[in-house]
Amino acid sequence: MKKRVSTLLAAAAFGLAASAQTWIWYPGDYEIWLGNRMNNNRTERGAFFPPFWKTDSHFVTVEFSKDLDLSEAEEIVIKAEGKYNVKLDGKLQFGQPSTFLIPAGKHKLNIKVWNQSTPPAIYVKGKTVNSDPTWKVTNEDKEWIDESGKASDTSATVYALAGYWDFDDMNNPPSAYSLNLEPKNYVAVEQKTADGGRLYDFGKETFGRIVLKQPVGDGVVNIYYGESPEEALDLEHCETLDKILFDGDKVTDLATNAVRKNEGDYTLDNTKAFRYVYVAPEAGVNFGDAAMLYEYAPVEYRGKFKCSDPELNKIWDVGAYTMHLTTREFFIDGIKRDRWVWSGDAVQSYLMNYYLFFDSPTVKRTTRLLRGKDPVTAHINTIMDYTLYWFNGIYDYYLYTGDKEFVKEIYPKMQSLMDYVLGRTNKDGMLEGMTGDWVFVDWADFPMSKQGALSFEQVLFCKSLETMKLCADIVGDSADAVKYGRLAKELRDKLLPTFWDEERQALVHNVENGKKSEQVNKFANMFAINYGYFNEPTTKSVMENVMLNPEVPAITTPYMRFYELESLCDQGLQKQVLKEMKDYWGGMLREGATSFWEKYNPSDSGTQHLAMYGRPFGKSLCHAWGASPIYLIGKYYLGVKPLEPGYKEFSITPDLGGLKWMEGTVPTPNGEITLYVNDKEIKVKATEGKGYINIKSKSQPKSDYGTVEKTGDKSYRLYIDTDKEITIKYKEIG
Amino acid sequence: MKKRVSTLLAAAAFGLAASAQTWIWYPGDYEIWLGNRMNNNRTERGAFFPPFWKTDSHFVTVEFSKDLDLSEAEEIVIKAEGKYNVKLDGKLQFGQPSTFLIPAGKHKLNIKVWNQSTPPAIYVKGKTVNSDPTWKVTNEDKEWIDESGKASDTSATVYALAGYWDFDDMNNPPSAYSLNLEPKNYVAVEQKTADGGRLYDFGKETFGRIVLKQPVGDGVVNIYYGESPEEALDLEHCETLDKILFDGDKVTDLATNAVRKNEGDYTLDNTKAFRYVYVAPEAGVNFGDAAMLYEYAPVEYRGKFKCSDPELNKIWDVGAYTMHLTTREFFIDGIKRDRWVWSGDAVQSYLMNYYLFFDSPTVKRTTRLLRGKDPVTAHINTIMDYTLYWFNGIYDYYLYTGDKEFVKEIYPKMQSLMDYVLGRTNKDGMLEGMTGDWVFVDWADFPMSKQGALSFEQVLFCKSLETMKLCADIVGDSADAVKYGRLAKELRDKLLPTFWDEERQALVHNVENGKKSEQVNKFANMFAINYGYFNEPTTKSVMENVMLNPEVPAITTPYMRFYELESLCDQGLQKQVLKEMKDYWGGMLREGATSFWEKYNPSDSGTQHLAMYGRPFGKSLCHAWGASPIYLIGKYYLGVKPLEPGYKEFSITPDLGGLKWMEGTVPTPNGEITLYVNDKEIKVKATEGKGYINIKSKSQPKSDYGTVEKTGDKSYRLYIDTDKEITIKYKEIG
C-alpha cells in the first residue's frame, strides 16, 4: 500500500500495461464487493444502515485462462483467493498447486476459482507467464463434453478481459485492502462537568477511528460525534454515536456486539466523520485521554492553485480537502452521511478529480460499482437522473483520459442499462417517472413537479444517447452507433418543440398530462447551455431571461450551483462567478466551515445551517458536491480543458476574472499543464499533448515560442507543441 | 437435525403453516448457496471440479418485514446470520439488538441483514411475533426519503414471502446445515503385497468419508476410490483419489492444502462415492485400519413394495437405495460423478420420489437451485431439453402435492425463463439449438443430428407451454394464461404437420434446413404418447411401428428407458415391461450392481461396463436415473396416481403384469395408499383423499364397501371415500 500513489499514476499513465504481474479478477466484481463493504459502513445512531437500492455481489465462480507459447519450460507460482483448480491443455491437475511446471510449446492454461465471500482472484508469477489484464475471464465457461469425452465446440462462452487495480504484491491480496491510517491528536479539549464527559475538537472536519487511551474501571463509555459542537453535545439527536462496554478483561462494542480483549488503549473498529467528539463515560469507568486514527486515500494533489485573493485560495484549499475526504475506496457523497456512492454526486467528483488528483482508477471503480450487475431492476441509486449522469460520466472520462480500453470493458453494461432506460419511455420517446423511479433533480426550495416529462431529464437523456453513440463508435458497433445516433437526434429535435416557451424565452419545467408547465427554472436551461443544445442567439436569450433573471428561483445546493456556475463561466462571466464563489463558498467559510456542505442557504442562520431531512443535524458538512470551485477554477480560470480525448489536444483559455494574478497546475493523464497569469504575462508549460492557448488581449501578444495568431477582436491564439515553459506578454482586456 | 424426518412430513403436509417460528430467508437464496456448496464438492483425481454453467449467489442484503397488531407489549428475541439492523415504525434501533420490546398496538417491524458469505437469515421468537413464512422479504426496499425526511410512497418495492425449510431451532442456523453421519465398517480387506497397500470392500456402493485409524510415521497415504475393484486398483485412471500427508504433529490434505493437528485417527474432510478403497501408504508412514463415516439424507422410505418375484424385489430395493444415495441436499445425478444437480436427472428423481419418500422439500429445493437467479443467460445446465424438463417438473410437483403456494413463489422465475426460451424460437415458433445451447436428448448409441428443429424438443416445449398456462391460472394471471394457452395450442397444432411421416407412422427426428429427416427414433414418439398428444388410433400405430418395432434403434440409458417403459405401461404392456425390467435391471444385478448405473448396454461385457466419456472408469455406477422401476412399479403395477392435485382424487389401477401377488404402499401428501393384490383379491386402504379403484376381472368383483360398477368389457370400478381397508374379490383376467 505504501507505493499506492506512484502505482496509481503508473496505472493512469499506461492503462492496460500495468505491471508485469498483478492480482486479477472478473472485471467489476472487486468494485461491487469493496463497494458493499464501504456502503455498509454507514451507521445512524449506532444502527447499521445499508443502502436501500439493490446490493449486488460478485460472480462466485470465475475461470481465468491464457494461451501460452513458451520457448522453454517454465515454473509458475500460483496464488488464489478461493478454492481453485488448474487445467493445462484441458487436463485437470491434482489439488491446488502453488507451483506448476509448464513444458515448452503452445498451451492453454485455465485456473478456475470459487469464492462466496470475496471475489475470486488469482496471482500468477513466472518468467514470462504472469497474471495481467490480458488474461481472459468468464463466469460461465460452458465446457460440456459429449459421451466420448470430446469438448463442445459450440459453447459460445463469452469472455472478458481480467479486471485489476494495483495489487502487484502476491502477499497483498485484493480482499485485504484498506485505506491508509495515521495517528492524529485533538487540538482542544473541554471538560463538561455536568456529566463528567469531555468535548474534543480535532481542529477541522476529519474521518477515522477514535482511540480511548488508558481506560480504567468497568462500564460504558459513550461517544457522540459531531460535525459541529452542537451536534456532539446533543446526545438525543447527534447523527452518529458509539457505546463501548469495558468489563474486566473484555471490551464490547455494543453497536456491533464485537468483543475484544482489554489490552489498554482501545481503538474503535468503526470509522466516523467528525470534528468534535463528546466522550462521556458512565459511572464506574473512565479513560485517560482520546486521540484518533485518521483514515484516508493516498491520492496525490496533482492539481494546484494559488492567486492574489486569499479568500479564493482558502476556498480552493477547503474544496481540495473536501474532495480528499470524500475520495475514498470510491467517490462518496459525504463522509458523515450517506457515506454511499451516488451517481449524481460521483459525476461531479469525477470532474473535480480531473483538476485535482486525476485519479483514473477511482473514477473507473466508482463507475463499475454504480452500475453493478445485470439484470437492471431499477435506476442507479433508484434515481432516473442518476442513471443518465452515469452515461455522461463515461463521456467525461473518455474525454479527459482517452482510455478506450475502459469504454470497451463497460460498453456491454452501458447497453443493458440503456435497454432498461429505453423500456421506460413514453409514446414520445421521453422519460417520465414510472412507479419505482425517483425523479430527483435537486433539493429545491420551491415547489417542483416530478410528474410527466421533465425537460431537465430529457436534456440529460439526450446527452446519454449521444454518449452511447460515441461509445458504440469506439467499440466498433456500427449498428448501435446508427441506432443511438438516430435516437439522440430524434430526441434532440423534440426538445425545443416540446418545452420551449417563446414568451419566457426558456425551456419550461415539464409537460404533464399533455399540458406544458408555466414554471421556468434553471435546471434544464443550464444543462442545455452546457451541452451546447441552444444556438448562439437562443443561448444569449436564455442567459438573460433565465440564468441571470432574479425572478427565476435561486438554486441553494452546491450540487446544482456546480452546473449553474459552469454555464455562467461558459458564457464568459468569470467576474460574476468569482463574486458568487466568494459570496457562497466564502459564506460557508465565514460560518466556520472546514469542509464544504451538502447545502447552504445564505439566508439561514446559526443552527439552521445544520438541519436537513427534518433532523437538527441531518445535513452533511463535508459533501463532495460542495467542492465545485476546484472544477470551475481549473476549467474556467486557469482555463484548461482537453479538446481531444486524453489531452492529445488541449486548449488553455486563462481568465483572471478580476484576480491580480493566479498560478496553478492541471494534471493530464501522463503529465501536467502549469500556468502563471497576471495582467501582463502568461507563463505556460505543458509536459504532454499539444494545443492552443487562447488569449484576450488589448494588443498583439508576444511570445518566446511560435507565432501568436489573431483570431478575432482582441482575441489571439498560440499553438503549443513543446514541453518547455513559454512566456507570453499581453495586455489583459479586464 | 434429529427430527428432520417428522418435520419434513409436517412441512409437506401443512405447506406454508410450518412451525411457529423458524429461520427465514429470501426464497431460493438458501438453495443457491447450499447448491454451490454441494456442486463444488465434486473432485476429479484430487482436483476441484465445479460446474461449467453459471454459478449464482444469494442476495447479500435482504430486508424482512412484518405488520404487527399486539394486544399487549411483547419482548422478542432476534437472531440473524449477518450484520443487521432493527427498525420499528421506521425508526432504527441502536446496535444489533438480540432482544427487543415491542409496545402494544399496530407496528411495522423491519429487520435488514447483510451477509456476503451465507444467505442473510433471521430467527425471531416472541409470544406472538415469530419469524415464519408469512414475513415479507425484499432485496431492494427503495425506501428513499425527501428533503423533509418523508419516505417515498412511489417506491414500488417488490416483496416476496420468506423462504424457509425446517430450521426451527434458534441455535441451528441454516448455514450450519449438514447431512447425517454414521460410522460404518468395511466387510472385507485384502493385503496387496506388491506395494504394501490394502484394498477395502465396504460391501456395496456407499458415500462418505474415509477414516484412517492409528496412523504412524511420516509420509503420504494415498487413497484410491473405486465403484469397482478395478477402478480402486488402477492408480492412473481411478476417477477420485486423496493424498494425506502425515508430518509430525500435523496432517495436510494435499488436495485442499488444509492442515490439521495430528490427533490419532484421521477422518477425511472430503466425501467420496465408493464401494472399494485402495489405501496405499508411501514409505515411512502406515496406519492400523480403515473405516468410513457414511453420509446420508434422513429421508423416510414411505413407499414400499414386495411381490412374488424375488428378483423384482431386489430391483426395487436396489432402486430405492440408489434413490437414497442420490437424494442428498438436492436430487443429484450420481454420487461419484457428477455429484451435480441436473434438471433432466432431477425431473425423474421427483417422479420416483413421489413413490418412495414423497419428500416435497427436496423437490422444491432442487427446483429453486436449478432455476438460480435472473438474468437467464443460458439454458438450465446449458441444455435446451433440461430447461423444458424444469417446467414439466413443476407440473408434476403440483399434480402430486397440490401445493399452490410453491407455484406462486416460483411463477415469476417461470416467466423469466420462458421469456428466454421464447426469445430463442425460429420463425415457426420452434426451438432450434442456437450457439451456446446444448441439445442433449440422450447418450445414444446411434448417430443423431442435433441440428434444426428436433421433434423431441418441440414435444417437451409444448408441454412446458401447457405448464405455463396451468400455472398462470393458479396464480390468477389471466393475460398470461391466454398467451401461453395460445402458444401451446399453436405449437401442438404444428407437431404432426411438421414431423409426422405417414409411411413410417411416426414422428421423424427433426427438420433441418427445411428438410424433414428420414430418421425415426423413439424419443419424440414416446413423449407424445406419455403426454397424450396422439389420438387413440395414432397411438396404437406408433406403438406398433416405433415403440415395439425392433428396427427402431434401441435405447441404452436407464434415463430414456424411464420414458420408454412408461409409454409401454401406459398402453397396458405391464407383462412385457416386467420382462424388460428383469432383463435390463436384473442384468445390472447379475453384473454385481449394488446400485443402478448411468448407462447399461447388455451387449457390453466385463470392464466395458465401467467405461464412458473415453475414460476406463468414467461411468457412474450409482445414478438416480437408473432407479426408474421405483416409479414404474408404483404408478403402473400398484397403479396409484393422483387425478386431482395433491391426491384429492386418485385412481388405483393394479396390474400384476404376471406376478402372483404384490403388496405395497404409495405415499400421498399427508397419508398413504396401501395395497395388496393377488389374482383373486385386492385389499386397499387410502388414508386421505378419495378416488377410484379400477379392476380388470373375468367376472363381477365383490367388495365389502360400496358398489362395484361395470365400466366396460371385463372392466370395473369402485369409488372409495373411506380410510378403512377395503377388500375386493375378483378374478384376474391375466
- The ipTM is 0.94
Question: B156 and chain A: CB distance < 8 Å anywhere?
Answer: yes
Give the closest-approach CA distance of B448 to chain A in angstroms: 13
The helix/strand count (H/E) of chain B reads as 15, 41
Question: B47 and chain A: CB distance < 8 Å anywhere?
Answer: yes
Please answer whether residues B581 and B312 qualify as being in contact, where contact means their C-beta atoms are separated by less than 8 angstroms. yes
pLDDT, mean of residues B483-491: 98
Tell me the torsion sign for CA atoms A279, A283, A287, A293.
negative
CA distance B727 to B704: 6
- Side chain identity at A716, as an amino acid letter? Y
Burial letters for A410-444: b for 16+ Cβ neighbours within 10 Å, e otherwise? bbebbbebbebbbeebeeeebbbbeebbbbbbbbb
For chain B, percent helix, then strand, then coil, each to nearest 5?
A: 30, 30, 40
- For B4-176, which CATH class? mainly beta
Same fold across B4-176 and B180-296: yes
Residue keyed to cell 416529462:
A453
Three-state DSSP state, B477: coil
Residue A17's pLDDT is what? 42
Report the phi/psi class of residue B423: left, alpha or beta, with left for phi > 0 and alpha for psi in -120 to 50: alpha
Of A45, A60, A375, the CB nearest to B375: A375
CA dihedral A369, A373, A375, A381 (to 10 degrees): -20
Question: A174 and chain B: CB distance < 8 Å anywhere?
Answer: no
Tell me the torsion sign for CA atoms B367, B369, B373, B374.
negative
Domain ranges of chain B: 4-176, 180-296, 299-358+555-637, 384-439+446-553, 641-729
CA distance A122 to A113: 8
Structure-block grid coordinates of residue B633: 412399479
Please answer whether residues B97 and B91 qualify as being in contact, where contact means their C-beta atoms are separated by less than 8 angstroms. no
State yes or no: pLDDT of A375 exceeds 90.
Answer: yes
Contacts of A88 in chain B (CB under 8 A): none
C-alpha pair distances (Å), B561 with each of B93, B526, B557: 60, 10, 6
State yes or no: pLDDT of B17 exceeds 80.
Answer: no
State yes or no: pLDDT of B6 exceeds 60.
Answer: no
Residue B14's pLDDT is what? 39
Structure-block grid coordinates of residue B439: 441439445
E strand or H helix that includes residue A64: strand A61-70
Q: pLDDT-based confidence at A150, cuts 50/70/90?
A: confident
List, as ranges, residues 1-40 from B with C-beta within 8 Å of A.
33, 36, 40
C-alpha pair distances (Å), B138 with each of A38, A453, B53, B135: 21, 29, 26, 10
Interface test with B, best of A30, A52, A118 (most B CBs within 10 A): A52
Residues whose CB is less than 8 angstroms from the CB of residue A162 and which lie 6 or more positions away in sequence, other chains included:
A24, A25, A26, A27, A64, A131, A132, A133, A134, A135, A136, A137
State yes or no: pLDDT of A3 exceeds 60.
Answer: no
pLDDT, mean of residues B268-297: 96
pLDDT, mean of residues B322-343: 97
Give the closest-approach CA distance of B583 to chain A in angstroms: 24
Interface test with B, best of A63, A142, A377 (most B CBs within 10 A): A142
Three-state DSSP state, B245: strand
Q: Transcribe B506-530 into DSSP letters.
A: EE-SEEETTEE-S---HHHHHHHHH
Please answer whether residues A526 and A564 qualify as being in contact, where contact means their C-beta atoms are separated by less than 8 angstroms. yes
Please state which architecture CATH assigns to domain A641-729. Sandwich (2.60)
Residue B101's pLDDT is what? 97
Least confident of B137-146, B529-538, B675-684: B137-146
Q: What is the mean pLDDT of chain B?
A: 94
Contact B96 A255 (CB under 8 A): yes
CA dihedral B226, B231, B234, B235 (to 10 degrees): -30
Residues whose CB is less than 8 angstroms from the CB of residue B283 and which lie 6 or more positions away in sequence, other chains included:
B219
- Side chain identity at B479, as an amino acid letter? A
pLDDT, mean of residues A486-496: 98
Phi, psi (degrees; rounded to nearest 5) at B414? -65, -40
CA distance A346 to A326: 10
- Span B574-601, pLDDT tens digits: 999 999 999 999 999 999 999 999 999 9
List, as ranges, residues 361-380 from A with C-beta within 8 Å of B.
374-375, 377-378
Omega of the bond prior to A375 within 30 degrees of 0, cis?
Answer: yes
Question: B257 and chain A: CB distance < 8 Å anywhere?
Answer: yes
C-alpha pair distances (Å), B336 with each of B33, B206, B208, B278, B604: 21, 10, 11, 16, 21
State yes or no: pLDDT of B454 exceeds 60.
Answer: yes
Least confident of B185-199, B440-454, B483-497, B549-563: B185-199
The Cα diameter of chain A in Å comes to 85
Q: What is the 3-state secondary structure (H, E, C) of A335-356?
A: CCCCCCCCHHHHHHHHHHHHCC
Q: pLDDT-based confidence at B195, cuts 50/70/90?
A: low
pLDDT, mean of residues B486-500: 98
pLDDT, mean of residues A418-422: 98
Residue B712's pLDDT is what? 94
Q: CA neighbours within 13 Å on the CB side: how many for B532?
A: 1
Please answer whether residues B208 and B184 qualify as being in contact, where contact means their C-beta atoms are separated by less than 8 angstroms. yes
CA distance B302 to B158: 39
- Span B636-657, pLDDT tens digits: 999 999 999 999 999 999 999 9
Helix axes A404-422, A360-371, angle to 10 degrees: 30
- Count residue pairs from A and B with Cβ separation < 8 A: 200
Residue A5's pLDDT is what? 40
Q: Which residues pair with B691 in a beta bridge?
A: B650, B720
Three-state DSSP state, B301: coil
Phi, psi (degrees; rounded to nearest 5) at B137? -135, 150
Question: A117 and chain B: CB distance < 8 Å anywhere?
Answer: yes
CATH number of A300-370+554-637: 1.50.10.10
C-alpha pair distances (Å), A621 with each of A240, A280, A597, A605: 14, 24, 4, 15
Per CATH, domain B180-296 is 2.60.120.260: yes
Contact A116 B257 (CB under 8 A): no
Q: pLDDT-based confidence at B196, cuts 50/70/90?
A: confident
Question: B608 and chain A: CB distance < 8 Å anywhere?
Answer: no
State yes or no: pLDDT of B2 exceeds 60.
Answer: no
Contact A36 B114 (CB under 8 A): yes
Contact A55 B114 (CB under 8 A): yes
Q: What is the 3-state secondary structure (H, E, C) of A558-614?
A: HHHHHHHHHHHHHCCCHHHHHHHHHHHHHHHHHCCCCCCCCCCCCCCCHHHHHCECC
Residue A153's pLDDT is what? 67
Structure-block grid coordinates of residue A429: 420517446
Q: pLDDT-based confidence at B194, cuts 50/70/90?
A: low
Q: pLDDT-based confidence at A453, cuts 50/70/90?
A: very high
For chain A, percent helix, then strand, then coil, each to nearest 5?
A: 30, 30, 40
Q: Which residues pair with A226 in a beta bridge?
A: A276
pLDDT, mean of residues A654-678: 98
CA distance A699 to A687: 28
Least confident of A1-5, A233-237, B254-258, B299-303: A1-5
State yes or no: pLDDT of A193 exceeds 70.
Answer: no
State yes or no: pLDDT of B558 exceeds 80.
Answer: yes
Closest CA to B226 of B212, B236, B214: B236
CA distance A603 to A455: 29
CA distance B335 to B348: 16
Question: B155 and chain A: CB distance < 8 Å anywhere?
Answer: yes
CATH number of A384-439+446-540: 1.50.10.10
- Span A289-311, pLDDT tens digits: 999 999 999 999 999 999 999 99
* Correct CATH for B384-439+446-553 of 1.10.3720.10, 1.50.10.10, 3.30.1490.390, 3.20.20.70: 1.50.10.10
Q: pLDDT-based confidence at B19, cuts 50/70/90?
A: very low
- In chain A, % of residues over pLDDT 70: 97
Residue B145's pLDDT is what? 78
pLDDT, mean of residues B117-127: 97
Q: pLDDT-based confidence at B3, cuts 50/70/90?
A: very low
Contacts of A145 in chain B (CB under 8 A): 613
pLDDT, mean of residues A701-710: 95
Q: How many CB atoms lie within 10 A of CB B41?
A: 18
Give the closest-approach CA distance of A573 to chain B in angstroms: 31
State yes or no: pLDDT of B129 exceeds 60.
Answer: yes
Contact B60 A140 (CB under 8 A): no
Q: Which residues pair with A323 in a beta bridge?
A: none
Omega of the bond prior to B570 within 30 degrees of 0, cis?
Answer: no
Contact A149 B94 (CB under 8 A): no
Closest CA to A38 of A161, A179, A141, A231: A179
Phi, psi (degrees; rounded to nearest 5) at B398? -65, -40
Residue A387's pLDDT is what? 98
Residue A194's pLDDT is what? 64
Contacts of A53 in chain B (CB under 8 A): 140, 142
Length of chain A: 734
Q: How many CB atoms lie within 10 A of CB A480?
A: 19
Residue of A nearest to B379 (CA): A142
N-terminal to C-terminal alpha carbon distance within chain A: 48
Residue B15's pLDDT is what? 43
Phi, psi (degrees; rounded to nearest 5) at A369? -60, -45
CA distance A630 to A640: 12
Phi, psi (degrees; rounded to nearest 5) at B215? -70, 145
State yes or no: pLDDT of A6 exceeds 70.
Answer: no
Residues whose CB is less than 8 angstroms from the CB of residue B620 and which lie 6 or more positions away in sequence, other chains included:
B227, B333, B334, B335, B336, B337, B338, B597, B598, B612
Strands of B257-398 (E only): list them. 258-261, 266-267, 272-281, 285-286, 289-296, 304-307
Contacts of A51 in chain B (CB under 8 A): 61
Contact B47 A382 (CB under 8 A): no
E strand or H helix that includes residue B411: helix B404-422
Residue B146's pLDDT is what? 76
Closest CA to A223 of A247, A246, A250: A246
